[in-house]
Chains A and B, each alone.
Chain A
């Protein structure tokens, strides 16, 4: 996992690849669930673009302490970065809820301050013109 965070520090997606079936995991993990083979030996760098696989417009935000209703709903999407075989959860920014659709192309938005933390990925925004 360390390499993933190091990659985030440099504004890059580092994914791991299963040594047996070649599946690419983002976020990376040590073991591939399908073949129980090591998946943390080969790493690949992935582009900043991806596809929205699924999404929901959330009116609630739940933290470890409590749940609260949001004034402005946020869009939570499952984004599959190009080249990866798994989707990761992230916010979709700069778009109206009504315009959302599955299969949309998106590009990453990095946080203002990069700390090598999952929150460095502020979200994804749609690629203009589409």
Chain B
């Protein structure tokens, strides 16, 4: 090292700031003391449909938007939709992610969580994928089929999960890739 050469100190990875800690006082917010209201009678046909094994969406007559699960208010037209339409059991993946949440058992394997768009509907519902599907095979636009729960109770999750269907577009893509 020569005299007069500038010595460059290595910059730290992370500049940390420290502050004197002062006292803290406890305060609580009890979320559990809240009640949340939801009048189930408004979506009776939908729940009945689930119990009997068919899927109903709610269609707004004014803008033709179909919501599944039903939304009681159409924000685009500011009306209450009232036309129930039957939807097929097939769906597509609109969006997906994997949860690496620190679960007790499944710490290693990511749990796929998908946003399902029921065919014929214009809305997305967060749902589960069938358990034996590898997360890496999931892609956006993947076709799915609803799998019913063993026991249907007329409740939200009578559709237990979704399982992948064979995608005809896949073969086309493969051919394209070969070319």
- Which A residues fall within an 8 A CB radius of B? 1-2, 5, 64-66, 116-118
* B window 12-51: CB within 8 A of A: 22-23, 25, 27-30, 33
Bound-state CA distance A66–B33 (Å) is 8
Do the beta carbons of A1 and B30 come within 8 Å of each other? no
Q: In which size bucket is the chain B interface?
A: under 10
Do the beta carbons of B23 and A5 come within 8 Å of each other? yes
- Please name all residues of chain B whose beta carbon is closer than 8 Å to the beta carbon of A116 when the two chains form the complex: 23
Do the beta carbons of B30 and A65 come within 8 Å of each other? yes
**Helix, strand, loop or mixed for chain A's interface?**
loop
Do the beta carbons of B25 and A117 come within 8 Å of each other? yes
Do the beta carbons of A2 and B25 come within 8 Å of each other? no
- Please name all residues of chain A whose beta carbon is closer than 8 Å to the beta carbon of B27 when the two chains form the complex: 64
- Please name all residues of chain B whose beta carbon is closer than 8 Å to the beta carbon of A65 when the two chains form the complex: 28, 30, 33
Bound-state CA distance A84–B61 (Å) is 68
- Please name all residues of chain B whose beta carbon is closer than 8 Å to the beta carbon of A64 when the two chains form the complex: 27-30
- Please name all residues of chain B whose beta carbon is closer than 8 Å to the beta carbon of A2 when the two chains form the complex: 22-23
